[in-house]
Structure 1
């Protein structure tokens, strides 16, 4: 029962910290980590140890799959060059820079062990980035690159980490073997992830049941990760691939499943994100207890140097990585140089998170200076979350990179809605010509023609104003209908199941109208 009580207490703390973060307008990841640190020093607070295997096998797969599921595959492919430059190049460069600094500050430290620390702290975290980026309206290209990087960089870092640990314990290292192994792990993980996603899609087409289809998406998530790890290929790449396959084949799921599973996954993401960050904070007390033999000034110096180098290394890599490829005319024509503000934002968005901590905690007990490496990894996570996480929103607005809320419907959305309306009208006109049932269709034609008329000039001044007025009238009528339904339930009684269905229909219609009005957040 103790684990249940601790879990419920942590969930309550997560909700409280999330509310505090919203009111203070801070990234909730930062508030959760700092809050966890405060809780860790409360007398009598039970020590909570984060099992690294649990962190990687339980927390990471659903969070990565959820991010991959939402990824725009077309945009991902279009930004593959910058994504790979960050997910592979920036990770390796950052790991090397951190390793060099640790070696300089601690001359007797083995090179492979120093690179191990670099591999631990090198990959920015998908969860930490999403916790900040979801609150902002950034240009789509920036979001695509950052999300795409965070989906792949864990695989790069974990492969380097695996070989660096082995080299430290065995005393030898082969870059050629590491490179070949990375390709093999990535290809193997991709194949297993694709197979798991394909099976989940096939199952969804046969199940045709919301609960079962949602459950199958969770099964696919963990199955792809665990199967890949069982055959010693990349579980990270496997679960990301599964998420991309499921996202690309969303049409295989029923409309009810798409709507309900989105709510389920959003809840799961909030719970796991919150628990991860508060558990990161709760580790600090135990880490410090194991470092009592080190002078505080020495620990502080090492922590500051590692964190500063980690942040600067990303700038040193990103700026040339943006500029150099565009010196090739064919690339420059296809992908012009982005604004410098975009480069600065991508460079600054390097928050670390659960993967770094889990990798540090998974170091073998016999690893040289294990406790010191765990402490430095924790400090790097804390520094990037607090420093970059709290200032990223300010930086984006200072640079003027945040997109303003549109007062008109985006062109692509307007075109798609117009396409739907014209196709629906043509079908209704075809049915109106039917001798037997044409009278019913004739009655419905004015409604469909009116919808087409409004959508054809959707962003033109008079049409847009008329459309907004019509939608406002519909909203007021809908609210009146809901209020009357509630009075009817209170006065005359109404079955709860029927009441729930009717309110759900009204809620869906209200959400649709608000989305059309551009007031979904109201």
Structure 2
């Protein structure tokens, strides 16, 4: 892929993302649709998807960013459904799709059909999570979706390697395949945790937010490549780079709660920008693969009608196998606690939405593109064209069919957790109350210190302490009052009016400083320093108001 073409794809996909965010649309769906249309335009340079680029440079940072934002406690609490969906369902999907394709095309070797099954097995939750957040899906459901997306790529790519080895003639027994999977999981998690512990130690010693964030950007690539290139026994065995990234992200994300405020804010901005960039790129690349798929169809010896029918069947089977699996898993004795500690089975509405969130993504296309041209004997890889065609059909088909209908399904079923907002408010009140009491106690401790270290009278020190206490109490009371008000009441409240007035004053200050610069009375370095302080204060005001009105 030429650099100029790549820059054009990035620019176009980011423009579509900005448009989608402005009008509250689904950016992945819009990008895929436009990319499909662009691929039909004569003269558009072909943009072939490079599997090495996707699996080494795109997948690790996306997984790492998601892991950083995931709650380790929630991940652990929903580990059973995550494993059920992210590992077991991947295996079930691969087997069902593989045997279905083998029945449809008996001349296609079963091993090649199972390669296809492994390719289309892992759902990509990017679209589902984006829709779920916009429509307010319950946190438990979002945790399961996110956790599944963190695990299923590792299971599918390991299964992909095993089935690929079977076609190439280098595979061992079923026990050997299970051992390959076990080693990949254990070694990948070990590498991820070791890397995270090392990075955590380095970051604690640095106390430099810029360097801490820079090192954080390297982490997903370092642990992924290290795990993938570790071969403890032979070339057949290696660690799972995906699990290494997930383990490192979960650990460092949990530790980030104890990091400095500057590091946390900077990390949040950096990874949010990286997410937008990479997600826009991968969905654009998905849609632009259509010419290569059509080329493989034209060179295939099979009848086009047969290939189209088989592609549709594979798409339907891939989507359908998830539905009964999700409902069946919820009826099993151990599955009634999948969504928490309660013993009541999850609502059928939850399960319906969960069963319809099986959109495939760029990993499916990257794995299909990475299928070798020839086997170990030099013969053409059996069914390579079919694998690429069916993988493209499943990836694009699930994104369009399920992605377009999922918002309607969520609205019709009214999937909500009615008590979630109340629980959040109660926990927020408890946290703020504890913080306020601790701050008041700390102020009482600081008063003697102020008297001994500062050359001020006791009366003045007490006034200073009272002002600090009043500031803490005012912010606490404002937060408590805001929690008890509706969105409309919050917007019309004195606190919101006060916030808007402060923001207007900050804007005036900023404009004045810039006017002083234009008049040549203030140096640029001084202007940047003053603007940074004003920007941080306005950002704090804007975020506080937005969180209350959302």
TM-score between the two structures when normalised by the length of structure 1: 0.92
After TM superposition, the structure 1 stretch with the greater mean CA deviation from structure 2, 380-389 or 36-45, is: 36-45
Divergent runs of 4+, >6 A: 327-333, 464-467
**Closer/same/farther in 2, CA of residues 494 and 161 from structure 1, 3 Å limit:** same
Q: Report the equivalent of 1:359.
A: 367
1:192·1:228 contact (CA, 8 Å) conserved in 2? yes
Q: Aligned equivalents of 2:335 and 2:225: distance in 1?
A: 43
Q: Report the equivalent of 1:336.
A: 344
1:137·1:403 contact (CA, 8 Å) conserved in 2? no
Q: Report the equivalent of 2:275.
A: 269
**Closer/same/farther in 2, CA of residues 139 and 460 from structure 1, 3 Å limit:** closer
Residues 129-185 of structure 1: CA deviation (Å, up to 9, x unaligned) = 444334332100001001101101111111111111111232866332222221111
Q: Aligned equivalents of 1:37 and 1:329: distance in 2?
A: 42
**Closer/same/farther in 2, CA of residues 517 and 336 from structure 1, 3 Å limit:** farther
Q: Aligned equivalents of 1:399 and 1:370: distance in 2?
A: 41
Match of 2:533 among 490, 499, 505: 505
Q: Aligned equivalents of 1:329 and 1:521: distance in 2?
A: 34
Q: Aligned equivalents of 1:456 and 1:369: distance in 2?
A: 63
User: Where do 1:248-397 residues align within 5 Å?
Assistant: 248-251=254-257, 253-292=259-298, 293=300, 294-325=302-333, 334-366=342-374, 367-397=381-411
**Closer/same/farther in 2, CA of residues 333 and 402 from structure 1, 3 Å limit:** closer
Q: Report the equivalent of 2:427.
A: 412
Q: Report the equivalent of 2:468.
A: 444
- State the 1:188 CA deviation: 0.3
After TM superposition, the structure 1 stretch with the greater mean CA deviation from structure 2, 286-295 or 346-355, is: 286-295
After TM superposition, the structure 1 stretch with the greater mean CA deviation from structure 2, 504-513 or 215-224, is: 504-513
What do you get for the CA RMSD once the two structures are aligned?
A: 2.8
User: Where do 1:79-158 residues align within 5 Å?
Assistant: 79-158=78-157
User: Where do 1:179-190 residues align within 5 Å?
Assistant: 179-190=178-189
- State the 1:459 CA deviation: 4.3
Q: Aligned equivalents of 2:394 and 2:198: distance in 1?
A: 40
State yes or no: 1:483 paired with 2:511. no
Q: Report the equivalent of 1:204.
A: 203
1:32·1:277 contact (CA, 8 Å) conserved in 2? yes
2:140·2:339 contact (CA, 8 Å) conserved in 1? no
**Closer/same/farther in 2, CA of residues 13 and 115 from structure 1, 3 Å limit:** same
- State the 1:426 CA deviation: 1.6
2:490·2:496 contact (CA, 8 Å) conserved in 1? no
3-state SS of paired residue (1:287) = helix
Q: Aligned equivalents of 1:450 and 1:46: distance in 2?
A: 61
Q: Aligned equivalents of 2:448 and 2:492: distance in 1?
A: 29
After TM superposition, the structure 1 stretch with the greater mean CA deviation from structure 2, 432-441 or 149-158, is: 432-441
Aligned residues: 520
Unaligned ranges ≥5, structure 2:
231-237, 375-380, 455-460
Q: Aligned equivalents of 1:285 and 1:430: distance in 2?
A: 71
Q: Aligned equivalents of 1:411 and 1:448: distance in 2?
A: 19
User: Where do 1:20-31 residues align within 5 Å?
Assistant: 20-22=19-21, 25-31=24-30
TM-score between the two structures when normalised by the length of structure 2: 0.87
3-state SS of paired residue (1:42) = coil
2:510·2:534 contact (CA, 8 Å) conserved in 1? no
Q: Report the equivalent of 2:457.
A: none
